[in-house]
Amino acid sequence: MKINIKKLNKVMLIASVLFGFSKMSLAGDVESGSMPVTSDLKVKLSGYGHFQGGYRNQNHLAGNDKNVSANRKSFAFFNDAALFTDISNQVNDITYGGKIVLVPTAKRKGSATYNGSHIYLDSSYGRVEAGSPMDAASNMLIDSSAIASATGGDWDRYAKFDSTDLKQGYDFGPSFATFGEFFLDNKLVSAVETRSYSNEPGRRVSYYTPKFEFGQGAKIQMGISYTPDSSNTGADDPTKNSTRVDIRKIGRNGVATNEYFKLDTSVKDAISGGVVLEQNISDGVDLKLALTGEYGKASKIEKFRNNDLSNSDPKKADPDKQEPITLNNKKLKDLRTYNIGAILNAGNFSYAASFGSLGKSLTSPEFHRTGRETTYYTGGVAYKQGPFTTSLTYFRSDQYKNTVDCVTIGTDYKLAPGFKPYAEISGFSLKGKPEYDNGNLKKKKTRGTVALIGAKLSL
């Protein structure tokens, strides 16, 4: 290949001149102490940090069940964090932008505010969010946690739900509902071993109307979200199911079995939404009501017989031996849930209550033998005086005939802007048995107390 020396010298000369000009320009900017403005974009950086110490005292625990962490009984530390930027611009009356969430080394904050990278469009016609995993039903849901001080009920992080006593010889423990929950925001989340930092729900598109005037002193807002496939969480290739597929061995009391269930609880074509009504009753008295819910087409539950008899664990079966035999393949019950909640603010006091039902969503009579319905109730009262708040909340649930009762007292104090220490204590009671049982077992009970102390930092 021939090289044109004249052309090469000309290119090098032009490059040298441009580089010299760039150095002069950069030097001028540095000397003047100013940086050139090339955009009208607004950038807002927000962060959250949380440290917590938890103590648990629970009865009917033995051996390693007493451990709160892997090697420590009764007491453990926990922390979570979040960092995100909101980049936006405005053209006429339309605001467009994007929210970019940065993943910290600590556990990511679970609330909608600090999760869900997406782009959005905001105008007088409403707000559209594209790619956000936090759906309208979750964002608009109301229960007693909305007015709670401290954590609003982190007791379930430390309580033992699958103790040897509760499992009664099965490989899995009873299922318990521990807070007002929906599937699309916290149950159907990414669970990929190579993405342990990610716990986001599926990708979706959401629309929120403006708050319309509705009668005297009333406003109403509606929101709706569409999720094509809950298994597409963004944590893996879109063609792969990145949510958890539960494998439940049905052997009991150490007796080996080569039969097991695979529960694929992902849903498709899911619609979730809500309606929120705000009413100003009088000076200092306001009422807020919300109806939220979900609907989606369920996947399947499969029962297998593993022909690798040398290993009854389906996760460790020899792949070179004959493939497992499918004993049945049935569709789970479609996703249908709803929640009704209300908050009344009167002076320094706030009151909240809610009722929610998950119905028979994503269950099957082949596996869920003890029952298939899930319902829950919440209630609470809170008091605020300057930087000090305190609350008393109650939670009760019934999931597959397994019940939870919990009373929580919490208090926090705004010590400085963005810095809030807190203390909280919860008393809980659990009663249930594994949902695969055919009626031979009696329900087991356990009670306990969880005490928390910690601090939150938000900027």
- 208 band by pLDDT with thresholds 50, 70 and 90: very high
Q: What are the φ/ψ torsions at residue 166 (nearest 5 degrees)?
A: -75, -35
**pLDDT of amino acid 241:** 62
Structural domain spans, the chain = 133-458
**pLDDT of amino acid 199:** 63
**pLDDT of amino acid 253:** 72
Higher pLDDT, 304 or 239: 304
**pLDDT of amino acid 320:** 46
Higher pLDDT, 258 or 298: 298
Measured distance CA(100)–CA(105) in Å, rounded: 16
- 26 band by pLDDT with thresholds 50, 70 and 90: very low
Q: Is pLDDT above 90 for 262? A: no
pLDDT tens readout for residues 150-165: 998 899 999 999 999 9
Taking phi over 0 as left and psi of -120 to 50 as alpha, with beta for the rest, 314 belongs to alpha
Measured distance CA(417)–CA(46) in Å, rounded: 14
DSSP 240: S
**pLDDT of amino acid 84:** 85
Average pLDDT score over residue span 253-263: 73
Average pLDDT score over residue span 182-187: 65
Higher pLDDT, 420 or 31: 420
Burial (Cβ within 10 Å: 0-12, 13-18, ≥19) of residue 149: buried
Least confident of 92-106, 188-202, 317-331: 188-202
Average pLDDT score over residue span 222-249: 76
* Beta strands per DSSP E along 230-305: 245-249, 259-282, 285-305
Mean pLDDT over the full length of the chain: 82
- 197 band by pLDDT with thresholds 50, 70 and 90: low
Least confident of 35-39, 333-337, 367-371: 35-39
**pLDDT of amino acid 257:** 67
Least confident of 102-111, 383-392, 403-412: 102-111
* pTM (2 d.p.): 0.81
Contacts of 163 (CB under 8 A, 6+ apart): 60, 61, 62, 65, 173, 446
Q: What are the φ/ψ torsions at residue 66 (nearest 5 degrees)?
A: -75, -15
Higher pLDDT, 70 or 313: 70
**pLDDT of amino acid 95:** 93
Q: Which of 84, 82, 87 is nearest to 119 (CA)?
A: 87
- 258 band by pLDDT with thresholds 50, 70 and 90: confident
CA angle 387, 393, 398 (to 5 degrees): 155
Contact in structure between 64 and 87 (CB atoms under 8 Å):
no
Average pLDDT score over residue span 111-117: 66
**pLDDT of amino acid 442:** 94
- 181 band by pLDDT with thresholds 50, 70 and 90: confident
**pLDDT of amino acid 109:** 59
Q: Which of 300, 440, 266, 265 is nearest to 370 (CA)?
A: 440
Least confident of 169-178, 216-225, 414-423: 169-178
Average pLDDT score over residue span 335-363: 94
Measured distance CA(137)–CA(356) in Å, rounded: 12
**pLDDT of amino acid 14:** 47
Q: Which of 341, 232, 343 is nearest to 293 (CA)?
A: 341
Contact in structure between 124 and 210 (CB atoms under 8 Å):
yes
Q: Name the token pair of 285.
A: 């008295």
Measured distance CA(360)–CA(350) in Å, rounded: 33
